[in-house]
Structure 1
Amino acid sequence: MPTDTIGRFLAALNPDHREAVTGRPREEQERLAAAWERELASDDELDTLDELSPPAAEAEAARRVMDRER
């Protein structure tokens, strides 16, 4: 299990998004990972989901970040 922010973010992404993000420059990956951490920290809905399933909460936050990138 990755311990750095980018690694954790990449692990939370679905395979298609993961491939797209790994092809981006490191700075872009860092920006997206930071947005993902902010999403996890700021959304009360995700807090509840995190209590039930941390991986599901991380995946949902990653999906939201990538949806905003479109």
Structure 2
Amino acid sequence: MAMDVVGRFLAALDPERRDDVTGRPREERERLAAAWERELASDDELDTLDELSPPAAEAEAARRVMEREA
């Protein structure tokens, strides 16, 4: 997986979660970034939000992914 996807995922996270994810192994970061991309692609609600604010849609998808991890 391209590191730019992981970087975009990390940028979408709130700072506290970003620090947590940054400390995880590379494979884990890549797995979370892939889940984030799937969340963005599959949720129609996020499509609507993306039209209004792409950063807000990315942040919401990142929050959802991390919430499922908890």
TM value normalised by structure 2? 0.95
Which residue is 2:67 aligned to?
67
Alpha-carbon distance in structure 2 between the residues aligned to 1:46 and 1:31: 20
Q: Which amino acid in the other structure matches residue 9 of structure 1?
A: F
Secondary structure at the aligned position of 1:24 is classed as coil
Identity of aligned residues (%): 84
In structure 1, the partner of 2:53 is: 53
Runs of 4 or more, structure 1, over 4 Å off, are none
Q: Which residue of 1 aligns with 2:11?
A: 11
Instruction: Give 5+ residue unaligned stretches, structure 1.
Output: none
RMSD: 0.9
Residue of structure 2 equivalent to 1:31: 31
Q: Which letter maps to 2:42?
A: S
Report the alpha carbon displacement of residue 45 of structure 1 after superposing the two structures with TM.
0.1
In 1, Cα distance between equivalents of 2:44 and 2:16 = 27
